[in-house]
């Protein structure tokens, strides 16, 4: 097997089509994880200690077991379950599986943001007789979320690199196209290299952008503490 530039250039348009699917899936998974992450935050703040403890361990369980096995569970095992079993198409299964996996990480980000809000803010908003809903939407969340933006951005890049897992349950995105091509012509290296290059071309500039954001928010933080 030798490297062939002809193959390399001919698979670029083919893989490029898969790039849009990979990007779309990344975005869908990310949105699901970002929204679902708040559910964990809510469960974590319930007033009953055993319930908090239980959901804490469930989140830990989801976080520390392989997302690939979770994908297989949702795609292959869920339809076999009695009563609640339904077949899912690969896209929905991937969004659910990766989304739930990463929501446990997102909730940690939110939690660190909420914990960074000064305690006095809670006391002051209670003193002003704000309702629970007003406290969260007007006082706490506007202060808790902006400092976590760089971290949230980081997870978007991480998610982008985890989405190829979905090729194992048959989502025809970049990696799946590359593997199919390899199986057909017995040329794996060129298409896989194209996939790797696409990943690099997208994730490296985004990482630089996140670094810039991080510096921006750090600087603002410094100014605030100096004043």
Residue from 16, 42, 53, 61 in contact with another protein (CB under 8 A): 61
Should residue 81 be labelled a site residue for another protein when binding is judged by CB under 8 A?
Answer: yes
Smallest distance, another protein to C-beta of residue 119, A: 15
Return the number of the residue (147 or 182) whose C-beta is nearest another protein. Answer: 182
Q: If DSSP codes are grouped into helix, strand and coil, which group holds residue 187? A: coil
Return the number of the residue (60 or 222) whose C-beta is nearest another protein. Answer: 60
Residue from 30, 32, 91, 199 in contact with another protein (CB under 8 A): 199
CA-CA distance, 173 to 159, in Å (whole number)? 14
Should residue 153 be labelled a site residue for another protein when binding is judged by CB under 8 A?
Answer: no
Residue from 171, 175, 177, 210 in contact with another protein (CB under 8 A): 175
Question: Nearest 5°: phi and psi at 84?
Answer: -90, 0
Cα within 13 Å of Cα(161), Cβ side: 14
- What lies within 8 Å, CB to CB, of 12 at 6+ separation is 194
For residue 119, the tally of other CB atoms under 10 A from its CB is 8
CA-CA distance, 181 to 172, in Å (whole number)? 12
Return the number of the residue (91 or 198) whose C-beta is nearest another protein. Answer: 198
Contact in structure between 36 and 103 (CB atoms under 8 Å): yes
Should residue 107 be labelled a site residue for another protein when binding is judged by CB under 8 A?
Answer: no
Should residue 70 be labelled a site residue for another protein when binding is judged by CB under 8 A?
Answer: yes
Interacting span for another protein (CB under 8 A) from 35-43, 121-129, 131-139, 190-198: 190-198
Q: If DSSP codes are grouped into helix, strand and coil, which group holds residue 158? A: helix
Q: If DSSP codes are grouped into helix, strand and coil, which group holds residue 121? A: helix
Chain residues in the site for another protein (CB under 8 A): 1-3, 60-61, 63-70, 72-73, 76-78, 80-81, 160-165, 167-168, 175, 178-179, 182, 188-189, 192-193, 195-196, 199-200, 203-204, 207
């Amino acid at each position: 097997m030798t490297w062939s530039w002809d193959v390399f250039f001919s698979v670029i348009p083919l893989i490029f089509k898969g790039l849009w699917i990979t990007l779309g899936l990344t975005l869908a998974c990310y949105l699901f994880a970002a929204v679902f992450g708040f559910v964990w935050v809510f469960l974590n703040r319930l007033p009953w200690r055993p319930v908090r403890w239980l959901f804490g361990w469930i989140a830990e369980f989801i976080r520390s077991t392989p997302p690939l096995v979770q994908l297989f569970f949702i795609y292959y095992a869920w339809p076999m379950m009695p009563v609640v079993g339904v077949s899912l198409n690969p896209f929905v299964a991937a969004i659910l599986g990766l989304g739930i996996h990463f929501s446990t990480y997102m909730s940690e980000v939110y939690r660190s943001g909420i914990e960074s809000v000064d305690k006095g803010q809670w006391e002051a908003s209670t003193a002003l007789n704000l309702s629970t809903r007003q406290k969260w939407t007007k006082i706490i969340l506007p202060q808790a979320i902006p400092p976590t933006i760089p971290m949230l951005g980081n997870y978007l890049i991480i998610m982008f690199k985890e989405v190829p897992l979905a090729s194992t349950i048959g989502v025809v995105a970049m990696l799946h196209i590359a593997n199919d091509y390899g199986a057909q012509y017995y040329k794996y290296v060129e298409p896989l290299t194209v996939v790797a290059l696409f990943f690099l071309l997208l994730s490296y500039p985004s990482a630089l952008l996140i670094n810039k954001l991080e510096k921006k928010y750090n600087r603002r933080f410094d100014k605030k503490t100096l004043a």
